[in-house]
Amino acid sequence: MEIKVVQNILKANDALAAANRKQFRDKGVFVIDLMSSPGAGKTTLLEKTAERLAGEIAFGVIEGDLATAADAERIGAYQIPVLQINTGKGCHLDANQVQNALQYFDLDSLDLLFIENVGNLVCPAEFDLGQHTKVLLLSTPEGDDKPDKYPVMFRQCPTVIINKVDLTPYVPFNLDKVRASIRRIQPEGRILELSCQTGQGLDAWIELVRQETKRFKAELQASAS
Ligand code: MG
Ligand code: ZN
């Protein structure tokens, strides 16, 4: 019986996620669900993205955390539309929370929306939010065993960012092992290696965001004509 209940919740979530996806498409907004463990650097990556892209691509951010508006305040400092969702005890965002958040954005004026999920490598993988793609951050201090321990999450994310590569001399993290693990779980996936602190590798991330947003817009135009 318990399994049936869980399946029903996921089914309801999937229906709401589909509605979100349709709304994003209608408004021409490309949506990226950004996930990681707590402390891997999601908000910092978004700050760096804002520094580089704010004048070029109109984007907004939904922040998911159990408590505080700390991350929304950090993003808001860049004059970017941002909304904080506090989930209380909830360990992931769901499609309904995202739907409710959308009324606070002028979607017509946005080309891109980042959803920073609650820091957690487990259940955010189960809840479709209506995003177009998922990006996973893994930071080197977390250890090189994470892809093998959390394969469901890694399998769902076509882009994996290894962050804090500047710390590899100080932490036990074998980059070759991690690359091999990720490729084994998702052979088609893309791996970016960067450091938000030193700026190393950030160019590739910025270019990826730029190209993926452009490609989404082009696909929309092609299907409309
Ligand atoms: Mg954060
Ligand atoms: Zn959860």
Range 118-137 average pLDDT: 97
Q: Give domain status of residue 116, yes or no.
A: yes
Per-residue pLDDT tens for 29-47? Answer: 999 999 999 999 999 999 9
What does the mean pLDDT of the chain come to? 96
CA-angle at 219, arms to 214 and 223, nearest 5°? 150
Tell me, in angstroms, the distance from the centre of ligand 1 to residue 43's CA.
Answer: 4
Per-residue pLDDT tens for 89-111? Answer: 999 999 999 999 999 999 999 99
Q: Give domain status of residue 87, yes or no.
A: yes
Q: Which domain holds residue 85?
A: 2-136+199-224
pLDDT of residue 197: 98
d(C-alpha 121, C-alpha 217), whole Å? 30
Please give the tally of structural domains in the chain. Answer: 1
Q: Give domain status of residue 160, yes or no.
A: no
pTM of the entire predicted model: 0.96
Q: Are strands 82-86 and 30-35 parallel, antiparallel or unpaired?
A: unpaired
Q: Give domain status of residue 85, yes or no.
A: yes
Q: Give domain status of residue 145, yes or no.
A: no
Tell me, in angstroms, the distance from the centre of ligand 2 to residue 204's CA.
Answer: 31
Residues in the chain: 225
Task: Give the number of the ligand closest to the Cα of residue 123.
Answer: 2
pLDDT of residue 225: 76
Residues 160, 134: contact at Cβ < 8 Å? no
pLDDT > 90? residue 2: no
Tell me, in angstroms, the distance from the centre of ligand 1 to residue 222's CA.
Answer: 35
Tell me, in angstroms, the distance from the centre of ligand 1 to residue 210's CA.
Answer: 22
**Cα-to-chain-centroid distance, residue 178:** 20
Q: Give domain status of residue 211, yes or no.
A: yes
Task: Give the number of the ligand closest to the Cα of residue 43.
Answer: 1
Per-residue pLDDT tens for 194-212? Answer: 999 999 999 999 999 999 9
Q: Give domain status of residue 63, yes or no.
A: yes
Q: Give domain status of residue 6, yes or no.
A: yes
Can you give the CATH number for the domain in which 65 is found?
A: 3.40.50.300
